[in-house]
Structure 1
Amino acid sequence: MSLDVFGFIDPVLESRPDGGVFLVPGHEGGYTGPGGTWESSVPEPIQLKLVHIAAASKKDVEWVGGGVGEPRDLKVVHINDGTMIYPDDDGRYSAMLRFTDGLAMRWWRVINADCRPWRNFCRVLVERSRDEPR
C-alpha cells in the first residue's frame, strides 16, 4: 500500500485566499479543418480546491539566485487535489496561477514545479508577474 495524499489536507494548513486560486493553462487550441489550420482559443481557468500558499523559504530565494526584485514576490503553492503543472516542450512553464496576495488579485508565473503524480501532490514555486498575460 503506497502513501497517497489525495484529498488529505489539514484544515489548519488550508490557506485558499478570498477569491480562490485559479490555474490558467498556457496555450489551447488545435488543428481543425481539412487543411489542418491552427485555431487558437482562450484557455478556461481551472479553480484549484485543495491548496496551501506560503511565503518562499530562504532556500527557495537563494535557488532563484536573486533574480527577483522583492523576496515577497515569491510564493510556494502546494496543490493536493491531483492537479499537475508540467513544463512545455521547450522547458518553460507557460501555465500561470491567479490569486490574491491580500491586496489585489494578481498573476503568478510558475518558476519551478515538483510534481509527484503517484502521490497526487504538486509543489510549485511562483513569482509575481508584473505584466498582464496575453
Structure 2
Amino acid sequence: MSIPEIAFDDSLPHMDREQIDMLLMVDDDEDPTSLLRELFGLFEMEGKEKMESLHQVCVDNDQTALRKIVHFVAGSAGNLGLSRLCLFYRAIEHAVDEGRFSTIAHCEMPVLKSFEKACDSFRKEFEI
C-alpha cells in the first residue's frame, strides 16, 4: 500500500539480515533465537498499542500524533531488523515534518497494513 505524499520503494526486503544476525550473536542461550523472540514480542505488543489510536489520529488529522506513532515504531523496527517498515515509517515522518500532508485520513490503512505485514513476515521467518 502506498501514500501519495511519499516516495517509497515497495521492493525493498522486509528484513535486514545483518541486523538480525547481530541480535542472534548476542544471545548466549541454547536457543539462538530466544532474544529475537523476546524482542519481537515486545515490539509487536507495543506496536499494537500504538496502532489502537491510529484510526482516531487519522480521523482527527492529528499529524503530530501520527508522527509520534510512526517514529516510535520505526525505531523499534530498525533495531529488530525490520528495515522496510522502518524506512516506510521514516518516510512518513519526513513527510509530516515537511508539511506534505493536507490530510492524513488516507494514511491509516497503509500504516496499519505495513505493520501487520512486517509482523507476519517476521513470525513466518522465525516460526514465532
The TM-score, its normalising length taken from structure 1, stands at: 0.23
- Considering only CA atoms, is the larger Rg found in Structure 1 or Structure 2? 1
- Structure number with the higher strand fraction is 1
Q: Which has the higher contact order (CA 8 A, sep 6+)?
A: 2
- Structure number with the higher helix fraction is 2
